[in-house]
């Protein structure tokens, strides 16, 4: 199988956002048809038995070079070209993923920024797009609307030619749609999430969940303003925002603070509106989604949402089978409306949001029907069924690698040596981490103190169990029930504390790892530079020694040739001397002496 390198620009691990999820799941799906290596700017802290994982240093070309040299082709997020323009000069076949239109996102992200900074960022985004379009052999996007946008850009860049269109009339081999996907496995609850762990949310309160990030181009404000009207009709309604900070290097957003301030202004903060301030681990997102009655994603009208991908958290609504409330105008709204998965409301329409939420919360049968349709639709977005554009490119590639230029003496490219780790220390760390997680899983399954009687093995045991269930338990239940409820609350608090401690420990460990990397990276760069200089010096020494050896061989050959020429001249002079003596003798009338016998010469 061919070696496919996948390069993410965002963090991949236990805590990751949409880009990291996309490349993690693509690596898993593509591992069936290629030898996959997945790289991220930070070490990947989850185990991947199906493929190899690694990391690179953002902006350090040497940290990518060795991986590129071993690959047959690469799938690269388009934003990677921002820090690694050298990819554009590589002869490695490149699949460039343009599912997230950077330029349109930055137009909204920097709307309140200094005009000069915003203009400069836009100029760099235009140059980045040119670089992406020039470098790719194949392009991916997330929706048909995005594809139309990028075909126009490819036309302007001169990538659409008559020969190309003749061979591929719709240009599917040049750019195709690979939307966001879903796990093939159904969701499973692993422990408590919102209900029973956030004070103010009761066991039967209907939860409205904002499942995505509070990005500056989204519109949580309209949802918050709609809540007084919703609460007036559904008094126990609770709205929860998943408001954790981005786990990677994304810029800080203003929207979380604005949303919290608006909820406080309306007197609903921590009463009907709650903010969950930790980033939900990828493996636990089902616990939070399954607590919800309705899941919401709202946005304002602008280019980013018009051309956005079908966002990962929207598809999660399908995966867990929950009714959706979304704003009109993007791919998510088209999907929800086409399949009747929820309600679509005009952008920034407070009254429409309040009316739609109240009707969904009041009608359980309606929500159940929408949830069933959502679950039935989810398998269409399973990651293994979406990878055809990549697998087709893999199949069409020739068996032989493209020619790669051999590094020259002036441009050394030594491979970056792999990091050497203490195996025993790594194994102990993994064992401790697995032990901690196993202990938490035991608590997750036992925190409710549920009674699961064993099947009686005999008649007497059956009578004893019947007496306990029908007589003894009804007598004890009024006394024990408050204690059980209190113990459940304590167990939830302990489990929540363990979650927090585990996340804090992981966060601190990530911080330590980041500090170590920050200390090691400059040293590694210096070592790589010294290795490069040593490589150049060694090449020059080799060239000099080879030149000296060649010179010695040439001198020896010249000496042999000169000796042979001297012998030839001596023989010719001897012949001339004999001829001279014979001529003189004849002139004097004397008998000519016989020619001198040829004397043997000693080999030089």
Tens of pLDDT, residue by residue over 279-292, are 999 999 999 999 99
Kindly state whether residues 10 and 114 are assigned to the same domain.
Answer: yes
Looking at the domain assignment, is residue 154 inside a domain?
Answer: yes
Taking residues 155-171, what's their average pLDDT? Answer: 96
Q: Is the pLDDT of residue 467 over 80?
A: no
270 dihedral zone (left: phi>0; alpha: psi -120 to 50; beta): left
- pLDDT recorded at residue 401: 40
- pLDDT recorded at residue 400: 41
Looking at the domain assignment, is residue 408 inside a domain?
Answer: no
Q: Is the pLDDT of residue 126 over 70?
A: yes
- Work out the percent of the chain whose per-residue pLDDT is above 70: 76
- Rounded-to-integer distance, Cα 76 and Cα 39, Å: 10
* Residue 502 pLDDT grade (very low, low, confident, very high; cuts 50, 70, 90): low
Q: Is the pLDDT of residue 379 over 50?
A: yes
User: Taking the CB of residue 175, how many other CB atoms lie within 10 A of it?
Assistant: 24
- pLDDT recorded at residue 409: 32
Contacts of 356 (CB under 8 A, 6+ apart): 325, 343, 345
Tokens of 176: 């195709």
User: Taking the CB of residue 449, how many other CB atoms lie within 10 A of it?
Assistant: 12
pLDDT per position as a tens digit, 514-571: 566 556 656 656 665 666 666 656 666 766 776 676 677 777 777 777 777 787 787 7
Looking at the domain assignment, is residue 460 inside a domain?
Answer: no
As a whole number of angstroms, the longest Cα–Cα distance in the chain is: 163
pLDDT per position as a tens digit, 11-41: 999 999 999 999 999 999 999 999 999 999 9
Kindly state whether residues 170 and 277 are assigned to the same domain.
Answer: no
- pLDDT recorded at residue 454: 58
Cα-based distances in Å from 53 to 72, 94, 497: 17, 19, 31
Cα-based distances in Å from 431 to 52, 142, 282, 425, 505: 20, 39, 21, 10, 15
Looking at the domain assignment, is residue 506 inside a domain?
Answer: no
Q: Residue 495: what are its φ and ψ, rounded to 5°?
A: -65, -40
User: Taking the CB of residue 13, how many other CB atoms lie within 10 A of it?
Assistant: 20
For 81-95, 412-426, 443-457, 531-545, which range has the lowest pLDDT when averaged over its residues? Answer: 412-426
Tokens of 424: 């025993």
Kindly state whether residues 296 and 374 are assigned to the same domain.
Answer: yes
Q: Is the pLDDT of residue 128 over 90?
A: yes
- Mean pLDDT over all residues of the chain? 83
Kindly state whether residues 375 and 388 are assigned to the same domain.
Answer: no
Q: Is the pLDDT of residue 84 over 90?
A: yes
342 dihedral zone (left: phi>0; alpha: psi -120 to 50; beta): left
Dihedral, 526, 530, 532, 535 alpha carbons, nearest 10: -160
Is 52 exposed, middle or buried (CB count within 10 Å of its CB: 0-12, 13-18, 19+)?
A: middle
Tokens of 331: 């791919």
Kindly state whether residues 173 and 32 are assigned to the same domain.
Answer: yes
Q: Determine how β-strand 35-40 pairs with β-strand 73-77.
A: unpaired
Q: Per mean pLDDT, which of 330-334, 336-340, 589-593 is the most reliable?
A: 336-340
Looking at the domain assignment, is residue 268 inside a domain?
Answer: yes
Q: Terminal CA-to-CA distance of the chain, rounded, Å?
A: 62
Looking at the domain assignment, is residue 344 inside a domain?
Answer: yes
Q: Is the pLDDT of residue 327 over 90?
A: yes
The CATH number assigned to the domain holding 151 equals 3.40.50.2000
* Residue 79 pLDDT grade (very low, low, confident, very high; cuts 50, 70, 90): very high
Number of domains in the chain: 4
Considering only residues 48 and 85, tell me which one the structure prediction assigns the higher pLDDT: 85
- pLDDT recorded at residue 304: 84
- pLDDT recorded at residue 208: 97
Taking residues 101-121, what's their average pLDDT? Answer: 90
The helix (run of H) or strand (run of E) holding residue 538 is: helix 473-587
Which DSSP state fits 275?
A: E
Kindly state whether residues 491 and 578 are assigned to the same domain.
Answer: no
- Rounded-to-integer distance, Cα 580 and Cα 592, Å: 10
Would you report the helix, strand and coil content of the chain in percent, each value rounded to 5? 55, 10, 35
Considering only residues 254 and 83, tell me which one the structure prediction assigns the higher pLDDT: 83
Which DSSP state fits 13?
A: S
For the chain, give the number of residues: 604
Looking at the domain assignment, is residue 202 inside a domain?
Answer: no
> Is the separation of the CB atoms in 298 and 212 below 8 Å?
no
Kindly state whether residues 601 and 529 are assigned to the same domain.
Answer: yes
What b/e sequence results for 306-342 when a residue is b if at least 16 CB atoms lie within 10 Å of its CB, and e otherwise?
A: bbbbbbbbbbbbbbbbbbbbbbbbbbbbbbbeeeebb
Kindly state whether residues 427 and 366 are assigned to the same domain.
Answer: no
Kindly state whether residues 158 and 271 are assigned to the same domain.
Answer: no
Taking residues 459-482, what's their average pLDDT? Answer: 71
Domain range enclosing 257: 207-381
- pLDDT recorded at residue 103: 93
- Rounded-to-integer distance, Cα 56 and Cα 418, Å: 11
* Residue 471 pLDDT grade (very low, low, confident, very high; cuts 50, 70, 90): confident
Kindly state whether residues 247 and 146 are assigned to the same domain.
Answer: no
| Residues forming beta bridges with residue 51, ordered by sequence position | none
Q: Is the pLDDT of residue 417 over 50?
A: no
Q: Is the pLDDT of residue 598 over 60?
A: no
Q: Determine how β-strand 294-297 pairs with β-strand 323-327.
A: parallel
Looking at the domain assignment, is residue 326 inside a domain?
Answer: yes
Taking residues 93-99, what's their average pLDDT? Answer: 96
Q: Is the pLDDT of residue 449 over 60?
A: no
- Rounded-to-integer distance, Cα 3 and Cα 70, Å: 8
- Work out the percent of the chain whose per-residue pLDDT is above 90: 53
Kindly state whether residues 108 and 15 are assigned to the same domain.
Answer: yes
Kindly state whether residues 163 and 17 are assigned to the same domain.
Answer: yes
What b/e sequence results for 561-573 when a residue is b if at least 16 CB atoms lie within 10 Å of its CB, and e otherwise?
A: eeeeeeeeeeeee
* Residue 604 pLDDT grade (very low, low, confident, very high; cuts 50, 70, 90): very low
* Residue 418 pLDDT grade (very low, low, confident, very high; cuts 50, 70, 90): very low
- Nearest Cα neighbor of 200 from 241, 242, 244, 236 is 236
The three-state DSSP-derived secondary structure of 314-355 is: HHHHHHHCCEEEEECCCHHHHHHHHHCCEEEECCCCHHHHHH
Tokens of 239: 């709205």
* Residue 410 pLDDT grade (very low, low, confident, very high; cuts 50, 70, 90): very low
Q: Where are the alpha helices (DSSP H) in 136-161?
A: 144-156
């Amino acid at each position: 199988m061919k070696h496919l390198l996948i390069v993410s620009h965002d963090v991949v691990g236990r805590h990751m956002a949409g880009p990291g999820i996309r490349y993690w799941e693509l690596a898993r799906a593509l591992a069936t048809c290629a030898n996959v290596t997945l790289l991220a700017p930070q070490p990947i802290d989850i185990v991947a038995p199906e493929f190899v994982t690694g990391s690179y240093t953002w902006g350090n070309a040497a940290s990518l070079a060795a991986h590129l040299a071993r690959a047959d082709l690469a799938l690269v997020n388009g934003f990677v070209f921002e820090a690694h323009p050298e990819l554009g000069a590589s002869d490695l076949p490149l699949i460039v993923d343009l599912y997230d239109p950077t330029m349109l996102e930055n137009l909204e992200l920097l709307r309140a920024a200094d005009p000069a900074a915003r203009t400069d960022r836009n100029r760099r985004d235009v140059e980045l797009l040119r670089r992406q379009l020039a470098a790719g052999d194949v392009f991916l996007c997330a929706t048909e609307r995005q594809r139309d946008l990028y075909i126009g850009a490819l036309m302007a860049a001169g990538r659409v030619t008559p020969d190309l269109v003749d061979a591929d009339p719709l240009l599917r081999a040049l750019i195709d749609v690979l939307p966001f996907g879903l796990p093939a496995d159904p969701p499973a609850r692993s422990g408590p999430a919102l209900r029973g762990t956030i004070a103010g949310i009761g066991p039967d309160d209907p939860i409205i969940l904002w499942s995505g990030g509070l990005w500056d181009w989204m519109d949580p404000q309209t949802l918050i303003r709609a809540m007084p009207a919703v609460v007036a009709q559904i008094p126990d309604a609770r709205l929860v925002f998943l408001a954790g900070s981005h786990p990677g290097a994304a810029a800080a957003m203003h929207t979380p603070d604005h949303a919290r301030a608006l909820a406080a202004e309306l007197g609903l903060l921590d009463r009907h509106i709650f903010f969950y301030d930790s980033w939900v681990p990828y493996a636990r997102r089902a616990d939070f989604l399954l607590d919800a009655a309705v899941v919401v994603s709202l946005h304002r009208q602008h280019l980013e949402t018009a051309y956005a991908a079908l966002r990962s958290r929207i598809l999660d609504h399908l995966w867990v089978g929950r009714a959706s409330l979304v704003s009109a105008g993007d791919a998510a709204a088209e999907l929800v409306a086409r399949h009747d998965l929820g309600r679509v409301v005009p952008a920034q329409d407070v009254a429409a949001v309040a009316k739609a939420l109240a009707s969904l919360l009041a009608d359980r049968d309606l929500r159940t029907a929408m949830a069933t349709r959502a679950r039935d639709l989810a398998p269409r977005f399973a990651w293994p069924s979406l990878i055809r554009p990549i697998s087709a490119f893999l199949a069409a590639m020739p068996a032989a690698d493209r020619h790669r230029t051999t590094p020259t003496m002036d441009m050394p490219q030594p491979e970056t040596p792999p990091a050497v780790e203490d195996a025993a220390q790594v194994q102990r760390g993994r064992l401790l981490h697995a032990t901690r997680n196993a202990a938490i899983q035991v608590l997750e399954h036992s925190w409710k103190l549920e009674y699961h009687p064993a099947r009686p093995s005999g008649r007497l045991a059956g009578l004893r169990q019947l007496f306990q269930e029908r007589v003894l338990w009804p007598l004890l239940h009024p006394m024990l029930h408050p204690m059980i409820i209190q113990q459940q609350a304590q167990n939830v608090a302990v489990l929540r504390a363990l979650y927090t401690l585990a996340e804090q420990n992981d966060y601190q460990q990530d911080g330590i790892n980041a500090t170590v990397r920050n200390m090691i990276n400059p040293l590694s760069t210096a070592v790589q530079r010294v290795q490069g200089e040593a490589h150049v010096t060694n090449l020059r020494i080799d060239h000099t020694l080879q030149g000296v050896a060649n010179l010695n061989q040439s001198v020896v050959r010249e000496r042999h040739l000169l000796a042979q020429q001297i012998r030839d001249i001596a023989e010719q002079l001897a012949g001339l001397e004999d001829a001279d003596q014979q001529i003189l003798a004849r002139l004097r009338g004397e008998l000519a002496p016989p020619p001198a016998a040829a004397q043997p010469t000693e080999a030089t």
